[in-house]
Structure 1
Amino acid sequence: MSKNLSNSVLYLMSISAGLVVANLYYNQPLLHQMVVEFEVSESAISNVPLATQLGYAFGLLFIVPLGDKVSNKKILQFDFALMILSLIAASLSSTLYLLIISSFFIGFSSAIPQLFVPMVAQLSDDKGRGRAIGIVMSGLLIGILGSRVISGIVGKWYGWRFMFTAATILMVLLFILLQYKLPKIKPSYKGSYGSLLKSIGHYFKTEPSLRLAALRGGLGFAGLSVFWTTFVFLMEDHFGYDSDVAGAFGVFGIVGALGATVVGKISHKYKQMQLIVFSTILLMVSWLIFLFSGYSLIGLALGVIIVDLGLQVLHITNQVSIFSKNPEARNRVNTVYMVGFFIGGAFGTFLGAFAWEHFGWQGVSILGLLIAIAILIVQFLFGPKKSI
């Protein structure tokens, strides 16, 4: 930890990251309600979370790099205005197509938490960097999982539109708080916006370890998206439970997410390869549990804890690795990594919906297991041989 980063500011960024990223996931426990209202198939409604994740990837690509050039306060002003308008549009959508478009811009504007991760990396010293990243990432993942709990309950009692209205009010309040409390960061990049975006390609081309981290992260998040996209359908079809029960399983994921803080504290004590293998084993074990627990709530709960813990170990290991280089370009490096991460999530959403529709829960579980195995394969094929 550095004297430039107080615990109060660190936890504010962690909480804010969770609250903003939650906008991406409110829709998932509500998909069945949307199917009923718009009278479309489950496959068609999966375009809502798909558009949200693609929007997030584009936001990472076009907004987050600005952190190396433009004051974070100015970025917040533009971003929150777009975010609030998009949430309002979603709550008022009269057709599925309008909801999909609104969802894209919700995702696009909700990329702002990814400015916080390079920020805490910049304000921390080498020893405290893993802990700081772990705390922000804990907030981020708790937001992802907690959003499902909240939206599941709100959706059941008040409908899916009310959830987006409530999120709008929350974002207005959060924007006011951040404007007053968040430290102002003066970026060092002096070139044009065009050259800034071009330089992202430079880091992608010249940093094989960054490309590999993005691929690992993308595969990891693809697996998690496969699960959460289809889980609500499993709850409805196999157990007859409403969105509140499906969303409540996010509580078990939060248990796994809290492990991120511990992982961040000890990450500097282990080799990168050890942590990657450990995280991948956790992911594979979780999918084996899912495969044999399609009708067991206890088994599903255990699997949720393990799959989220496994992804967090992998994610923090990746980010500590990429932030150890190129300190002057941490936002752009993070952009490369997170674009890969969420493109993987979008593909996971698409593949998960396809697997569910054609092969059911068994097909979904086998798909998730194959994705986890693929992480190990690419690491052994393309990772540095000296670490093996």
Structure 2
Amino acid sequence: MRSSSASSPTLAPAHAAPQLTPALVWLMAIACGLVVANIYYNQPLLADIGRTFHLSDSRASLVATLTQVGYTLGLFFVVPLGDKLERKRLILLLLVLAAGAMAAAALAPSFALLIGASLLIGIFSAVPQLLVPMAAHLASDDERGRVVGKIMSGLLIGILLSRTLSGYIGAHGGWRLVFGIGSGAMLVLALILALKLPKDQPDFEGTYASLMKSLSTLTRTLPALRKSALTGAFLFASFSVFWTTLVFFLEGSPYFYKSDVAGFFGLIGALGALAAPLAGKSADTRGPAYAINIGILMSLAAYLVLAFGGYHLVGLVVGVIVLDIGVQATHISNQSRIFSLVPEARSRLNTIYMTAYFIGGSLGSLAGGTAWAHYQWPGVCAVGLSFVAAAYLVNRFYGNAPRG
């Protein structure tokens, strides 16, 4: 594949990296799922956290917002180091720090300390965004989309099942127990990866300042990267609008469910993870643009179903499944497209894309909480639909990205 960088000699050592075996792909997928779960454990617990600290729903949603803000900071300031430092060592360090931040959240005596710990949880949970470009780096050109899709399926299942797990544990053991279990899981995962994950030394030899400066250069010179980043950001904003407010919707009329049922919807939404390998395969064969267009249209349809049928359980379930499939298919295809641009800069490309992506997620959480506080479910659906429309407009009209 063509690279827009003049530094193509760095590709030779990249292909000399350790072999990417099926077992290693599965390990990386599981690791991504376990770590990214840290970001989403809090969503079914927001109402319980609010009751603990006597907060309004909109203020309790700051836990979700600050966690995603922290994740965005980690993406921007930490993930680029994957092109400079030995990746395995960096991943293990972040896992240990994430375990400490999760423990701090479990023990937080005040809401201020909880949101501070939530910010750190987000920063130190950037590990999946080091593992995904690492896998793309180890994979051959003709299987890269499928490999990224498989690993992302683990990440997506982690995102969605984390809500199921935390909702159930939170309902029966309290929200603090969820964070405590998450802390222990990070320590166990660090031990396993220390034994099984291969070393992978990148080729960038400049300073951290020059590494960060190159982010600007890549963004400025790659219109396909900008287009993917903006499309992904708006679509993930629509995703976060829904999942941040779902627990509040389910606790009121007409459902009156508790947090464990809200978490169960994560299990339903996990069907969206099935789209990840299929989207990766489509990116390898038909090019990413096709799956991106289909994903946006599915997200649009999902919000129409949620707006008009969300007060009925069948409509809500259908909306969840279609929304998750649409968002994930678009996400995988966007990543497949950007990883083909400059192979020796995949961590930095992923930084730019995923930073935009989670800025969108943070904006979606904030906008969703505000919409719920003022307009309840109709406001939530209107805001979510607006973000999907923005994604469509960017993907349709912004820039002149090369096809596929």
Q: Into which bin does the TM-score normalised by the smaller protein fall? A: over 0.9
For 2:219, the equivalent position in structure 1 comes to 204
Question: Letter of the aligned partner of 2:374 in structure 1?
Answer: H
For 1:278, the equivalent position in structure 2 comes to 294
Moved more, 21-30 or 371-380: 371-380
Displacement after TM superposition at 1:138 (Å): 0.5
Displacement after TM superposition at 1:387 (Å): 5.0
For 1:368, the equivalent position in structure 2 comes to 384
For 1:297, the equivalent position in structure 2 comes to 313
For 2:170, the equivalent position in structure 1 comes to 155
For 2:235, the equivalent position in structure 1 comes to 220
SS at match of 1:292: helix
Displacement after TM superposition at 1:385 (Å): 7.7
For 2:83, the equivalent position in structure 1 comes to 68
For 2:5, the equivalent position in structure 1 comes to none
Contact 2:82 2:347 in 1 (8 A): yes
Query: Which structure 2 residues correspond to residues 78-227 of structure 1 after superposition, within 5 A?
Result: 78-227=93-242
Work out which of the residue numbers 282, 287, 293 in structure 2 matches 1:266.
282
Residues 386 and 77 from structure 1, CA distance in 2 versus in 1: closer, same or farther, beyond 3 angstroms?
closer
- In 1, Cα distance between equivalents of 2:343 and 2:207: 19
For 2:11, the equivalent position in structure 1 comes to none
Deviations 1:48-95 (A, max 9, x none): 000000000000111111111111122123212211110111001111
Deviations 1:95-145 (A, max 9, x none): 111100000000000001111111111111111101000011111110000
Moved more, 98-107 or 362-371: 362-371
- In 2, Cα distance between equivalents of 1:273 and 1:210: 13
**Structure 1: runs of 5+ lacking an equivalent:** none
Displacement after TM superposition at 1:383 (Å): 3.8
SS at match of 2:190: helix
Residues 22 and 386 from structure 1, CA distance in 2 versus in 1: closer, same or farther, beyond 3 angstroms?
closer
Deviations 1:344-380 (A, max 9, x none): 0000000001111111101111111121111111122
Question: Letter of the aligned partner of 2:127 in structure 1?
Answer: I
- In 1, Cα distance between equivalents of 2:131 and 2:373: 38
Work out which of the residue numbers 307, 311, 330 in structure 1 matches 2:346.
330
For 1:345, the equivalent position in structure 2 comes to 361
Displacement after TM superposition at 1:275 (Å): 2.1
**Structure 2: runs of 5+ lacking an equivalent:** 1-14
- In 1, Cα distance between equivalents of 2:329 and 2:401: 21
- In 2, Cα distance between equivalents of 1:263 and 1:269: 10
- In 1, Cα distance between equivalents of 2:393 and 2:134: 32
- In 2, Cα distance between equivalents of 1:170 and 1:371: 34
Contact 2:275 2:325 in 1 (8 A): yes
- In 1, Cα distance between equivalents of 2:21 and 2:333: 23
Stretches of 4+ moved more than 6 A in 1? none
Residues 242 and 199 from structure 1, CA distance in 2 versus in 1: closer, same or farther, beyond 3 angstroms?
same
Residues 276 and 85 from structure 1, CA distance in 2 versus in 1: closer, same or farther, beyond 3 angstroms?
same
- In 2, Cα distance between equivalents of 1:35 and 1:15: 31
Displacement after TM superposition at 1:313 (Å): 1.1
- In 1, Cα distance between equivalents of 2:92 and 2:322: 38
Displacement after TM superposition at 1:269 (Å): 2.4
Residues 49 and 234 from structure 1, CA distance in 2 versus in 1: closer, same or farther, beyond 3 angstroms?
same
- In 1, Cα distance between equivalents of 2:211 and 2:135: 21
- In 1, Cα distance between equivalents of 2:330 and 2:92: 32
SS at match of 2:20: coil
Query: Which structure 2 residues correspond to residues 214-253 of structure 1 after superposition, within 5 A?
Result: 214-238=229-253, 239-253=255-269
For 1:382, the equivalent position in structure 2 comes to 398
- In 2, Cα distance between equivalents of 1:378 and 1:66: 29
Question: Letter of the aligned partner of 1:198 in structure 2?
Answer: K
- In 2, Cα distance between equivalents of 1:195 and 1:384: 28
- In 2, Cα distance between equivalents of 1:77 and 1:348: 30
Contact 2:310 2:319 in 1 (8 A): no
Q: TM-score, normalised by structure 2?
A: 0.93
Deviations 1:167-224 (A, max 9, x none): 1111110000001100110110111111111111111111111111110110111000
Work out which of the residue numbers 61, 75, 84 in structure 2 matches 1:46.
61
Contact 2:67 2:118 in 1 (8 A): yes
Deviations 1:284-329 (A, max 9, x none): 0000010012321111111111111001111011111100111111
Provide the aligned length of Structure 1 versus Structure 2: 388
For 1:11, the equivalent position in structure 2 comes to 26
SS at match of 2:309: coil
Contact 2:62 2:115 in 1 (8 A): yes
Question: Letter of the aligned partner of 1:286 in structure 2?
Answer: A
Displacement after TM superposition at 1:384 (Å): 2.3
Contact 2:225 2:353 in 1 (8 A): yes
